[in-house]
Amino acid sequence: MPKVLPAAFIEEARDLLETKKLEKQKATEERRRYQEQFEVNDEEPLNLIQLALNHKVSVQIRSLVHMANRQKDFHLRTAHKLSDQMQTITR
Q: Which among 68, 17, 67 is positioned nearest to 9, based on CA atoms?
A: 17
On the CB side of 16, CA atoms within 13 Å amount to: 6
Q: Report the distance separating Cα 35 and Cα 44, nearest Å.
A: 10
For the chain, the structural domain boundaries read: 1-40, 44-91
Spell out the per-residue pLDDT of the chain, length 91, in tens.
677 778 888 888 899 999 999 999 999 999 888 877 776 556 677 777 788 888 888 888 889 999 998 898 888 888 888 888 888 888 7
Phi, psi of 56 (to 5 degrees): -60, -45
CA 36 distance to own-chain centroid: 19
DSSP secondary-structure letter at 42? S
Q: Report the distance separating Cα 15 and Cα 11, nearest Å.
A: 6
The pTM of the whole model exceeds 0.85: no
